[in-house]
Amino acid sequence: MPSIGERIEREVLGWDGVEGRAHRFGGVEFRVRGHEIGHLHGDRLADLPFPRKVREELVEAGRARPHHVLPQTGWVSYRIRGEEDLEGALELFRLNYERLTKRKKGARA
């Protein structure tokens, strides 16, 4: 059975326009239209960049934590402890994917 990280990677890479590559601090990074939507550090941690307002909303709602290294930025961290956290991680990646693809589509109009 694939690991949680492998399952997240397979799902996110299946979204239109998403590319994966090695992240500079280890793990896999996901990008769409030249922008990072987030990255995984193995099976246990996802880091995602959001505008600060969105980051504050996610942290306040308990959907993510401030980034483990850069807590004063728009970045969030999401700990993956087991199967119960798989959907939460995918929801964050999807939120950022949709935010970035909608913004880019609107910018071209």
pLDDT by residue (tens digit) across 39-69?
999 889 999 999 999 999 999 999 999 998 8
Helix (H, G, I), strand (E, B) or coil at 58: helix
Judged against a pLDDT cut of 60, whether residue 104 lies above it is answered with no
The structure's pTM equals: 0.90
**pLDDT grade, residue 31 (50/70/90)?**
very high
Q: Distance (Å, rounded) from C-alpha 12 to C-alpha 95?
A: 11
Mean pLDDT of 80-101: 95
- Residue 109: which pLDDT band, with cuts at 50, 70 and 90? very low
Structural domains of the chain, ranges and CATH numbers in brackets:
4-108 (3.30.1460)
